[in-house]
Amino acid sequence: MCGIVGIVDTGGVSFPLYYALYALQHRGQESAGISTFDAGTLFKHKAQGLLSEVFNRDILEELPGSVGIGHVRYPTTGENRPENTQPLNFSLKGHHFSIVHNGNLVNNNELVAEYEEQGHIFATTTDSEVIAAIIARELTLSGSITDAVVLCMRKLQGSYSVITMLDDTLFAFRDPLGIKPLCIGKTDNGYMVASESVALDALGAIFIRDLRPGELITIDADGISCHQITHASNTAFCLFEYIYFARSDSVIDGVLVYDVRRKVGEMLHKEAPVNADIISPVPDSGTSLAVGYSEASGIPFKEGLIKNRYIGRTFIMPTQKLRENAVRMKLNPVRGHIKGKSVVLVDDSIVRGTTSRRIIELVREFGAREVHFRVGSPPVAAPCYLGVDLPTRNELIAHNRASDEVCSCISADSLHHISLKALIEATGIDMADFCTGCLTGCYPVAIPHEDSECRHVDFIHGSYQTRLDF
């Protein structure tokens, strides 16, 4: 997951980077960092914790410069260790090089072994350092960042949206499948690139467009140059961006996330209507789903659960024990709304099932007569290897279990998952352009140790360069 942002702005970037990262805090809560460049010097600060715990005004004022990048981390590859906190910063032949990355490489171990054979020493356990190693080595040979990214994209397998800073110039690129999102915006005095459009909104920046899959952009004092490096036969957008990850007010690859979730809620009612007294979301990602369900059914929307806004997203907490313990602190039932009522709870997904069960038990404890569970994703039945910390198959409640078995496990009166067909229809994007690996076990790239007969995407290497005028 992770949230990344890069800004070139003559008005200074440290505070804008902070505000943009704040808008992306939902994408990662383990650590945060910012690097800036000014007058030949690299300035940096990063640490484990939430953004508000890592930075304050005094720290931000010590990060001068008109160019900078920032990161909030959600760990997939690499342990929860301080050295894995990004941005990663390096010195390279008199230049300063920094990198932030959102995604997950499936050939990370092979690349580490290859570069260790060449004498490279790795200081972290994150695959972001592997990307940095590839780029740095090619830069020392050719001196061309474009050549370095071309080589990098040909070596990398998996998902990646990357922003790098080489002295006073930003470079951003996206994997050929477009698995992880990245978009471009115009600030008052420059340009920015970020994981989601809400980061642009936080700064009052104007949304220009999404980076195209396989595209490299360069942002400097003169503007933006665009370089299409690799083409794929089709994309593989992460479907979970629309289900859970992205904020509802984000526009991801041209689609407003809120509209998708609201339409999914409508389709949930059509697929599995129920005679109930209230429709209640599991906040926050279930809210727009519940709105759609309520509007389609005519059953009143009422908040049966109130979220403690000072508790983070439990799904991205690093251990299952923390996730389970956080449920009671995070959600409190509204007794007056649910006592004696038949309640439809609407949530985005069920992964292990332990959180769903605890929520349902909590609602029953506060007097609900019936609890029907409606879910805005199909059953999660396979691991994700492309940037989501989903567990092994044996830990997934839907693996080798029918829907009625899952319903019994989570103690619901009824359970229905949205069908994959309806979910795809709600996005307005062709199914062939999504990664559905965690739902179908069919991945867009070859995964080590996964015996898949699925069709993998073909890549065409070639390039053209244009200038983006705005």
Provide the annotated active-site residues: 2
Half-sphere exposure of residue 38: CA atoms within 13 angstroms, side-chain side: 16
Tally of residues, the chain = 470
Q: CB burial class (10 A; 0-12, 13-18, 19+) of residue 340?
A: exposed
Residue 353 CB burial class (10 angstroms; 0-12, 13-18, ≥19): middle
CA distances from 443 to 48, 155, 233, 446, 450 (A): 32, 18, 15, 7, 9
Give the chain as a 3 state SS string: CCEEEEEEECCCCHHHHHHHHHHCHHHCCCEEEEEEEECCEEEEEEEECCHHHHCCHHHHHCCCCCEEEEEEECCCCCCCCHHHCCCEEEEECCEEEEEEEEEEECCHHHHHHHHHHCCCCCCCCCHHHHHHHHHHHHHHHHCCHHHHHHHHHHHCCEEEEEEEEECCEEEEEECCCCCCCCEEEEECCEEEEECCHHHHHHCCCEEEEECCCCEEEEEECCEEEEEEEEEECCCCEECHHHHHHCCCCCEECCEEHHHHHHHHHHHHHHHCCCCCCEEEECCCCCHHHHHHHHHHHCCCECCCEEECCCCCCHHHCCCHHHHHHHHHHHEEECHHHHCCCEEEEEECCCCCCHHHHHHHHHHHHCCCCEEEEEECCCCCCCCCCCCCCCCCHHHCCCCCCCHHHHHHHCCCCEEEECCHHHHHHHHCCCHHHEECHHHHCCCCCCCCCCCCCCCCCCEEEEEEEEEECC
Query: Which residue bears the tokens 């989570």?
Result: 410
Position 139, amino acid: L
